[in-house]
Amino acid sequence: MKQAIILTEFNQGLDMQFLNQSLGFLALMLKEVRTMNF
């Protein structure tokens, strides 16, 4: 039972890390597109 809780917390941490990376990547892509267009 305790292991399952630790695993879910670990997975949530990974999800947040992945979300932050995705947002950073999207921001970078938007910046690239903006510099290309203008």
Structural domain boundaries in the chain: 1-37
- pLDDT at 3 (0 to 100): 78
Using alpha carbons, select from 9, 29, 6 the residue that is nearest to residue 17. Answer: 9
Low-confidence ranges of the chain (pLDDT < 70): 1, 38
Exposure letters 24-37 (e unless 16+ CB within 10 A, then b): eeeeeeeeeeeeee
